[in-house]
C-alpha cells in the first residue's frame, strides 16, 4: 500500500512539512532507507544516519531542522515513537490469511460464528463455542467446547484454547499459545516436605515421601478486550475460580501465567516472565523479562519489576523492584555497589591488619 506523506501526516494528526506529495510505501531505518521509504529518525542520533540512505522524507521529533538533513519532506511529532503505533498499522500487510471457511476445518454444528469470520485449514471449533464477527482464525487451531471469543480476534496458527475460556474483543493470540490448560495444582495426604520447608524456612524434618494427588481445574479463564499474547505463552485455568487477565494487557513470548492468577488492565509481561498460582497483580504493572512472582503474592498498581527479579513478598503500589529476592530498586543498586566494593575493602582491611600486627610486635 502506497500513501503520500500528506496522507500519513493526516492519519497521525499532524501537519506535513515540505512536499506532501512524496510517495511512501514502507518505513525503514535511516541508514538503509530508499527514496520511497519513510525514514524513522525519531531522535538526533538516528537522524545523523539519514545521509547514509536515500530517504526523501522522515519521521522526526518536534522542532527538528528537517531541511538540514537534505530531506524534501518530514513529519514531526512530540512523541514520534507513539506515532509508530498507527504508522506501523497502516503499513502492515498482514499474514495473508484467506477469507471464508476452509473445507478442511471441522466446526461443530452447535458452534456460532459471527459475520465475516475466517477459519483456516485443519482448525477445530468445538460444541457451543461462540466466535465474534470479523475474527480471523488461522490454520491448525484448536478451540474447545464452551469458548467465547469477542469480535475482531486474530488467532495465529497452532493456538489451543481449552474449554470454559472467555476472551474479549480484538484479541491477538500468536503461534502455539495455550489458554486454559490445567493449573499445576497437586496435594499430598499429609503435610508435604514443601509445606514444612516453607513454614520453617528450611527444615523438612518429620515429613515423609508421598505421592501427589492431582487437583482438577474447574475455574476457566477470563480475558478482557484488546489483550495480546505472544508465541508459546500459556495461561492456565483456575482451580475453582477463573484465571483473569484485564483489558489492554500485553503478554510477550514464553510467559507462564499460573492458575487463579488475576492480572489487571494495561499490564506488560515481558518474555520468560512467570507468575505462580493465586497471585494478584494490579493495573498498569510491568514484569521485566525472566522475572518471577511467587504464589499468593499481592502486587499493587503501577509496579515495575526489573528483569530477572524474583518477587517473594507483597509489593505496594507504585514501587520499582529489582533483584533476587526483589527489593526496592534503589536499595538493590546500593547493595550491588557495596558488594562490588567488598574485595577492595577486604584487601585494605588485610593490609591494615598487617600494619597493626607489625606495630604491635615492634612495641
Is residue 203 domain-shared with residue 291, that is, in the same domain?
Answer: yes
Q: What is the pLDDT of residue 1?
A: 84
| 320 inside domain | yes
List the CATH number of the domain containing 250. 2.160.10.10
Q: What is the pLDDT of residue 361?
A: 56
Q: How confident is the model at residue 353 (pLDDT cuts 50, 70, 90)?
A: confident
Domain end position, chosen among 91, 124, 154: 91
Domain end position, chosen among 91, 119, 140: 91
Is residue 261 domain-shared with residue 182, that is, in the same domain?
Answer: yes
Is residue 202 domain-shared with residue 322, that is, in the same domain?
Answer: yes
Is residue 13 domain-shared with residue 80, that is, in the same domain?
Answer: yes
Average of per-residue pLDDT across 217-241: 98
Is residue 80 domain-shared with residue 200, that is, in the same domain?
Answer: no
Q: Which residues contact 344 (CB under 8 A, 6 or more apart)?
A: none
Is residue 36 domain-shared with residue 131, that is, in the same domain?
Answer: no
The grid cell for 359 is: 606495630
What does residue 19 show for φ and ψ, rounded to 5 degrees? -80, 105
Judge contact between 305 and 293, C-beta under 8 A: yes
Average of per-residue pLDDT across 208-234: 97
Q: How far is CA 31 from CA 22, 38, 58, 249, in A?
A: 19, 11, 12, 34
Domain end position, chosen among 91, 122, 154: 91
| 252 inside domain | yes
- Give the whole-angstrom CA distance, residue 311 versus residue 299: 9
| 42 inside domain | yes
pLDDT tens, 20-67?
999 999 999 999 999 999 999 999 999 999 999 999 999 999 999 999
| 23 inside domain | yes
Q: Which of 167, 181, 97, 171 is nearest to 130 (CA)?
A: 167
Is residue 124 domain-shared with residue 249, that is, in the same domain?
Answer: yes
Is residue 32 domain-shared with residue 132, that is, in the same domain?
Answer: no
Total tally of structural domains belonging to the chain: 2
Range of the domain at 64: 3-91
Is residue 134 domain-shared with residue 242, that is, in the same domain?
Answer: yes
Q: What is the pTM of this model?
A: 0.91
| 286 inside domain | yes
pLDDT tens, 312-352?
999 999 999 999 999 999 999 999 999 999 999 999 999 89
Average of per-residue pLDDT across 195-222: 93
- Active site members: 259
Judge contact between 292 and 274, C-beta under 8 A: yes
| 256 inside domain | yes
Judge contact between 315 and 321, C-beta under 8 A: yes
List the CATH number of the domain containing 57. 3.40.1390.10
Widest CA span in the chain = 100
| 223 inside domain | yes
Is residue 129 domain-shared with residue 237, that is, in the same domain?
Answer: yes
With a cut of 80, say whether residue 362 has pLDDT above it: no
Is residue 11 domain-shared with residue 66, that is, in the same domain?
Answer: yes
| 353 inside domain | no
Is residue 83 domain-shared with residue 135, that is, in the same domain?
Answer: no
Amino acid at each position: 500500500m502506497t500513501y503520500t506523506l500528506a496522507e500519513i501526516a493526516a492519519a497521525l494528526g499532524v501537519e506535513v512539512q515540505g512536499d506532501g506529495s512524496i510517495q511512501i510505501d514502507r518505513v525503514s531505518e535511516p541508514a538503509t532507507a530508499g527514496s520511497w521509504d519513510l525514514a524513522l529518525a525519531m531522535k538526533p542520533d538516528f537522524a545523523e544516519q539519514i545521509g547514509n540512505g536515500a530517504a526523501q522524507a522522515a519521521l522526526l521529533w518536534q522542532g527538528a531542522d528537517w531541511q538540514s538533513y537534505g530531506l524534501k519532506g518530514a513529519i514531526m511529532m512530540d512523541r514520534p515513537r507513539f506515532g509508530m503505533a498507527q504508522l506501523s498499522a497502516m503499513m502492515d500487510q498482514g499474514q495473508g490469511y484467506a477469507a471464508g471457511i476452509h473445507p478442511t476445518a471441522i466446526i461443530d454444528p452447535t458452534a456460532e460464528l459471527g459475520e465475516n469470520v475466517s477459519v483456516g485449514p485443519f482448525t477445530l471449533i468445538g460444541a457451543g463455542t461462540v466466535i465474534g464477527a470479523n475474527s480471523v482464525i488461522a490454520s491448525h487451531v484448536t478451540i474447545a467446547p464452551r469458548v467465547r471469543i469477542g469480535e475482531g480476534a486474530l488467532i495465529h496458527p497452532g493456538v489451543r484454547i481449552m474449554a470454559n475460556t472467555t476472551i474479549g474483543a480484538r484479541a491477538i493470540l500468536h503461534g502455539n499459545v495455550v489458554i486454559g490448560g490445567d493449573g499445576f495444582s497437586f496435594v499430598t495426604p499429609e503435610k508435604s516436605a514443601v509445606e514444612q520447608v516453607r513454614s520453617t524456612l528450611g527444615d523438612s524434618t518429620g515429613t515423609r515421601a508421598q505421592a501427589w494427588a492431582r487437583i482438577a481445574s474447574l475455574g476457566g479463564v477470563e480475558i478482557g478486550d484488546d489483550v495480546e499474547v505472544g508465541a508459546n505463552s500459556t495461561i492456565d485455568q483456575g482451580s475453582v475460580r477463573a484465571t483473569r487477565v484485564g483489558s489492554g494487557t500485553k503478554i510477550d513470548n514464553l510467559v507462564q501465567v499460573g492458575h487463579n492468577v488475576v492480572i489487571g488492565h494495561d499490564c506488560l509481561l515481558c518474555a520468560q516472565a512467570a507468575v505462580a498460582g493465586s497471585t494478584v497483580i494490579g493495573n498498569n504493572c510491568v514484569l521485566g523479562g525472566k522475572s518471577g512472582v511467587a504464589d499468593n503474592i499481592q502486587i499493587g498498581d503501577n509496579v515495575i519489576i526489573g528483569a530477572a527479579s524474583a518477587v517473594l513478598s507483597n509489593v505496594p503500589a507504585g514501587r520499582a523492584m529489582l533483584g533476587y529476592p526483589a527489593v526496592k530498586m534503589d536499595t538493590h543498586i546500593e547493595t550491588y555497589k557495596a558488594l562490588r566494593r567488598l574485595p577492595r575493602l577486604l584487601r585494605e582491611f588485610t593490609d591494615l591488619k598487617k600494619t597493626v600486627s607489625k606495630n604491635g610486635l615492634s612495641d
